[in-house]
Amino acid sequence: MQAPPLLSSALEILDAEPHHMASVQAIYSHYVQHDLCSFEEEVPTVEDMQTRRTEVLRRGLPYLVALKNGEVAGYAYASPYRARSAYRHTVEDSIYVARGMHGHGIGRALLRAVIAHCTEGGFTQMVAVVGNSANTGSQRLHESLGFETVGVLRSVGFKFGQWVDTVLMQRALR
């Protein structure tokens, strides 16, 4: 399924292809190494990221990239919220924007496209698990697109020598 129309001529939202994954991995590696929004502590390889993309697509879920002036400026995808069958109608979103590219509408365009794809795919709920309760940018982005905070899991992650919360946000898709 092709992503919804573009926000501007300089920004394109496309289905991620194998040749995008080195850029996707480079974007994600920054967050793994320097940020609390990801609880991963070791940078996955490009091959690891390709395997993750393949699994998302195998499930019929979106894995998208944002191209700004031809360069990968961010990526987003949806994945199953949990493995048990009762959760089969619920997905979780993930969005990462390249360093220096925040504030250009990239995250919003990606999240809108993921929401549209999952709604069209028949899912009923989307959950955002925002790493780090101080990550107000992600929380504001999700709120602006209809997500509500439904809870905070206190001190569930330990990264960079500190305990970190996650904020649970939820949005109905239909």
Radius of gyration, alpha carbons of the chain: 15
Q: Look at residue 10 in the predicted model and tell me its pLDDT.
A: 85
Topology of domain 11-126, CATH: Aminopeptidase (3.40.630)
Bigger pLDDT: 45 vs 9: 45
pLDDT digits (tens, 9 = 90+) for 90-127: 999 999 999 999 999 999 999 999 999 999 999 999 99
Q: Which residues of 21-58 are buried (b: 16+ CB within 10 A; e: fewer)?
A: bebbbebbbebbeeebbbeeeebeeeeebbebbeebee
Residue 140, token pair as written in the block: 């504001």
Average model confidence (pLDDT) across the chain? 95
Using an 8 Å Cβ cutoff, are 139 and 130 in contact?
yes
Mean pLDDT is lowest, of 2-11, 82-91, 98-107, for 2-11
Tell me what the mean pLDDT of segment 20-25 comes to: 98
> CA dihedral in degrees (78, 81, 87, 90; nearest 10)?
-40
Check whether 9 has a pLDDT greater than 90.
no
Q: Look at residue 174 in the predicted model and tell me its pLDDT.
A: 87
> What band does 1 get if pLDDT is binned at 50, 70 and 90?
low
Q: Give residue 84's Cα distance to chain centre.
A: 21
How much of the chain exceeds pLDDT 90, in percent?
94
pTM, whole model, 2 decimals? Answer: 0.93
pLDDT digits (tens, 9 = 90+) for 162-172: 999 999 999 99
> What band does 7 get if pLDDT is binned at 50, 70 and 90?
very low
Residue spans of the domains in the chain: they are 11-126
> What band does 8 get if pLDDT is binned at 50, 70 and 90?
very low
